[in-house]
Amino acid sequence: MVSTKRVVLAAVLTWAQLIAAAPSPSLTGFLPGVLGGRDDQDGNANAGIAAAPESESTSSLITRTNIKLPITNPDAPDMIPNRYIVVYNSSFSSAAIDAKMTSFSAAIQKRNLHKRALDGRTLSTEIMSFKMNKWRAMALDADDSMIMEINSADEVAYVEADQMMKVQATIVQTNAPLGLQRLSEAQFERGGTYTFDSSAGEGMTVYVVDTGVRASHIEFEGRAKFAKNFIQGSQNTDENGHGTHVAGTIAGATFGVAKKAQIMGVKVLDAQGSGSNSGILNGLQFVINDVESRNLSGKAVMNMSLGGGFSQALNSAIGGCFKAGIVPVVAAGNDNVDSRGVSPASAQNAITVGAIDAKTDSRAKFSNFGQSVGVFAPGVNVVSCGIRSDDDVKTLSGTSMAAPHVAGLAAYLMTLQGISDPGQVDQVIKGLAGSTGATVGNNVQGTTPLIANNGNTMPNINPNARNGNNRGNNNNKNRGGQGSNRGGGGGSGGGGGSGGGEGGGNSSGGGGGEGGNGNGQDSTR
């Protein structure tokens, strides 16, 4: 096959100038705030994931010491020097791609042994390979001449610079959580309760692709597992706290939306909340393989409260997860910008979640916006699990906290209404949100006004739901104080009864604010 790749000279900069000019990422909200806009580069939502045909692939050239390097993301923040993600052209056979990958691997082994990257580290001879349905890619270290040679191969669709992804948090305060209340109310009511069906996401598995999960936390009741660690030299637990907080919002006994769902922690971010894009792709590869090996297609949700610069490769991998029967839920990001320029928020097949303040229904001042945002959920002062002990509690803000509300909601609705198709899950979530009449305040033109809701007081809008599954108003209630021993000792959550802030709501609130132990004062992740 003759390659017809077009290369567009967008700018000619020195490598140093490029790094200096790149905007610093502000991935907040997700903790890792994340992406936004949906781009046609992701592929058709129904077709799943496919590499762009060579005739459609465009690259920008960056100049380094008079060598022009073709990459698709020259403006990406936090690029990793001499590290690339190579995406193959799906029009070639699997055998042809395997042969080319073997050839590349041999060349890398030979040429990288004694070479050093721009940052002084030795170029690695290890190659990561990814296969998600028909999408094929690899991540590798390469010098300038090697990456030029790789890019020229007919089997290669495009080359992208690897980059760092991060999580972020904002200042917090000790308050009982309003997020669960808001999720089960058509309009916000102070002192309300969280009403939910007793099925509570049972039979669903939610993959938390993040900093890991403290699986021993009492909130998980044995339903959480530390599944895989992709951070070399780190412990098989959450050393940051972000992933555990996210998991608690998804499926914690007190703080969780889907209180009977299973949690699988996939560690792709380190103790500082950072990780490479290629490492995250490794995590997605694991999720797809695990879902396939355990026959969980149509019974799996994936939460990604992380983000960074735009990545066509990462967005395409999200499409691979979607096609594998996994519902991908991602954070919109915390930079108060259009999320089209961030990933995975800009992935076409993801449910991208912005953040609101549950007290006012106003868009959080940090939340990203734009057409890629599909729905909003509570993301200000969200109380969930901490990592200092097995009963630790922490309060955080960000789109990182909003996304797990929707990931838990997806698992909840999949059990309740018998939904297995990821696209239909997206439609039902948006349909329920639109049925409440509530809209986001302080919003940006062109951004959805929808606020996530579990529909507990509304009719079943899924015409294909199983008979008897929608139990209407025969719902159990969690009055913000299950696990009421948490309220004692802690700031404004102290005491119990009506002194418990927003989460307890009334005398049945038990332990009062979930922010016991004073953990809410931390402004770290």
Cα separation, 305 vs 207, whole angstroms: 11
Q: What is the pLDDT of residues 464-497, one digit of tens each?
A: 443 333 333 333 333 333 333 333 333 333 333 3
Domains and CATH numbers, the chain: 6-26+43-164 (3.30.70.80), 179-482 (3.40.50.200), 483-525 (no CATH)
Which one of 141, 197, 210, 426 is the catalytic residue?
210
Q: What is the pLDDT of residues 341-360, one digit of tens each?
A: 999 999 999 999 999 998 89
Low-confidence residues in the chain, pLDDT < 70: 1-68, 116-121, 168-193, 457-525
Cα separation, 509 vs 501, whole angstroms: 9
- Strand ranges for 250-341 from DSSP E: 262-267, 274-276, 300-304, 308-309, 326-331
Cα separation, 138 vs 319, whole angstroms: 17
Per the annotation, the verdict on 242 as an active-site residue is yes
Per the annotation, the verdict on 210 as an active-site residue is yes
Among residues 514, 489, 518, the alpha carbon closest in space to that of 500 is found at 514
What is the pTM assigned to this prediction?
Answer: 0.74
Q: Residue 51: what pLDDT? A: 30
- Strand ranges for 65-155 from DSSP E: 67-71, 79-88, 128-132, 135-141
Which one of 311, 343, 400, 484 is the catalytic residue?
400
Q: What is the pLDDT of residues 66-108, one digit of tens each?
A: 446 788 988 888 899 889 999 999 989 999 999 999 999 888 8
